């Protein structure tokens, strides 16, 4: 599937964020890269990008990206980049002779929109446009959006100033080469070089079809839209189904704000995982020092490590750096961190209460913590349709209990609660998983 991306304009309304609009970074990733990655996820394999303003800067970014993503990418220059977007599409006429996706470099979208377009029949001479039928969409700028009037799957009218409409142009098209003739006709007859003008020409012949959608999309055209897009992407990570209550209510809201800052640096997710682990080591060392002030400081540091532990996955998702190894590496470090934290707290209690029972309780707390983590994947997979109905016991609760025990100067009680809670949860999971088989 070929994909044509228009990236020729200057984009002056977003100039505060960057000189070249397609290269403006949103949560650590340029807009045009986000568009390309979404198109790949939707099924595109061969890309054509029309450049214009600051062509060399875009070229210098896209060439390494082509190699990094292992895609075919052809650059097409538009020396009339100050004109309307239809002329940018027309520049690809000699390069594309088959059906193709047409996207905008500043329109972010859910890949399901592309899948939906590709799932509809495309007859000779037709052009499909994904039309957002949610006329109350809060991500839409009503003053600037291109409005669409559709009926029975056909586009009757399109434009920014039309009075009657029931949808919005998402900027996602599936085209036949008829789009090129339509642009020329709109230019020659109506002196209109916009894509909307070409769609109106096709609509008069009933060749402009609408594919309704209510999936995410946004035209990142100014600072306000940029903020909306940023908030939307950040909110996607809130309230994940596998988050425990502490992660959902406390850790995640803080870690996401930290990740928003971290994406602007070259920190890798694995480096963030290591930093979180080191914080846990220091926390364990403070636990073992004996005095309350060290105990309390260690508890605060342990909770901070738990918050930072969420940043590695968030940065990985924001910057498309997720990997199976990264997830496994983070899990390994978490197990080591839990062991050190519980050992440090056990040492603290034992140094003031030389009882073998303290050692037993500390050992049971460690075993329970490990087993809750070990059984999590199996349990979550079996209970994925029911897990949201109950309280999920996990590492976030474990560390938070350590934090509460430390700052309240009740380390012995904290160890006992962790030992009982984590082992009871493990036994409960064993019973639940057996009944689900």
Same domain (yes/no): 81, 189 = yes
Q: Which domain holds residue 382?
A: 237-436
Domain ends where: 196, 222, 248? 222
Same domain (yes/no): 106, 37 = yes
Q: Buried b vs exposed e over 89-114: b needs ≥16 C-beta within 10 Å? A: bbbbeeebeebbbbbbbbbbbbbbbb
Q: Is the dihedral of CA 362, 365, 366, 367 positive or negative?
A: positive
Judge whether 132 lies within some domain.
yes
Number of domains, the chain = 2
Same domain (yes/no): 329, 183 = no
What CATH number did the domain enclosing 354 receive? Answer: 1.20.120.1760
Question: What ranges make up the beta strands (E) of 100-183?
Answer: 100-104, 107-109, 127-132, 147-151, 154-159, 167-175
Helix, strand, or coil (residue 387): helix
Same domain (yes/no): 278, 201 = no
What CATH number did the domain enclosing 202 receive? Answer: 3.90.550.10
Question: Which residues make beta-bridge pairs with 4?
Answer: 48, 102
pLDDT at 386 over 60: no
Same domain (yes/no): 299, 404 = yes
Does the global pTM surpass 0.85?
yes
Judge whether 119 lies within some domain.
yes
Q: What is the pLDDT of residues 226-242, one digit of tens each?
A: 999 999 999 988 756 56
Share of the chain above pLDDT 70, in %: 96
CA atoms within 13 A on the CB side of 142: 8
Judge whether 120 lies within some domain.
yes
Same domain (yes/no): 165, 38 = yes
Of residues 379 and 327, the one with the higher pLDDT is: 327
Q: What is d(CA 207, CA 128) in angstroms, rounded to the nearest whole number?
A: 8
Q: State the helix-helix crossing angle for 395-407 and 292-318, rounded to 10 degrees.
A: 150
Q: What is the pLDDT of residues 156-214, one digit of tens each?
A: 999 999 999 999 999 999 999 999 999 999 999 989 999 999 999 999 999 999 999 99
């Amino acid at each position: 599937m070929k994909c044509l991306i228009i990236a020729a304009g200057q984009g002056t309304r977003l100039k505060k964020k960057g000189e070249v609009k397609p290269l403006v970074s949103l949560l650590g990733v340029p807009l045009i890269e986000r568009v390309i990655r979404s198109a790949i996820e939707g099924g595109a394999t061969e890309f054509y990008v029309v450049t214009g303003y600051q062509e060399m800067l875009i070229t210098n970014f896209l060439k390494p990206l082509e190699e990094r993503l292992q895609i075919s990418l052809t650059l097409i220059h538009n020396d009339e980049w100050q004109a309307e977007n239809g002329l940018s599409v027309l520049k690809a006429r000699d390069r594309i002779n088959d059906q193709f996706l047409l996207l905008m470099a500043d329109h972010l979208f859910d890949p399901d929109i592309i899948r939906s377009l590709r799932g509809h029949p495309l007859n000779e001479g037709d052009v499909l446009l994904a039309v957002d039928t949610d006329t109350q969409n809060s991500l839409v700028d009503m003053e600037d959006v291109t409005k669409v009037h559709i009926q029975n799957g056909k586009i009757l009218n399109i434009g920014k100033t039309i009075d009657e409409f029931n949808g919005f142009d998402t900027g996602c098209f599936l085209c036949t080469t008829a789009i090129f003739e339509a642009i020329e006709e709109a230019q020659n007859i109506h002196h209109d070089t916009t894509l909307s003008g070409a769609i109106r020409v096709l609509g008069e012949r009933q060749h402009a079809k609408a594919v309704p959608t209510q999936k995410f999309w946004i035209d990142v055209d100014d600072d306000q839209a940029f903020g909306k897009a940023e908030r939307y992407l950040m909110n996607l990570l809130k309230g994940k189904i596998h988050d425990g209550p502490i992660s959902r209510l406390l850790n995640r809201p803080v870690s996401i704000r930290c990740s928003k800052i971290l994406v602007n640096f070259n920190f890798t997710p694995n480096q963030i995982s290591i930093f979180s682990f080191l914080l846990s080591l220091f926390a364990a060392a403070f636990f073992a020092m004996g005095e309350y002030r060290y105990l309390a400081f260690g508890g605060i540091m342990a909770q901070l490590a738990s918050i930072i532990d969420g940043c590695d996955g968030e940065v990985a998702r924001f910057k498309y750096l997720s990997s199976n190894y990264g997830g496994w590496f983070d899990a390994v470090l978490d197990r080591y961190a839990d062991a050190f934290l519980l050992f440090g707290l056990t040492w603290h209690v034992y140094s003031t209460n030389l009882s073998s029972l303290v050692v037993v309780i500390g050992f049971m707390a460690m075993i329970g913590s490990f087993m809750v983590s070990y059984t999590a994947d199996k349990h979550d997979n079996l209970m994925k349709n029911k897990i949201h109905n109950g309280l999920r016991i996990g590492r976030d609760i474990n560390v938070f209990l350590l934090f509460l025990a430390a700052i309240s100067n009740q380390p012995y009680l904290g160890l006992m609660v962790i030992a009982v809670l984590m082992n009871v949860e493990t036994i409960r999971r064993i019973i639940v998983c057996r009944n689900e088989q």
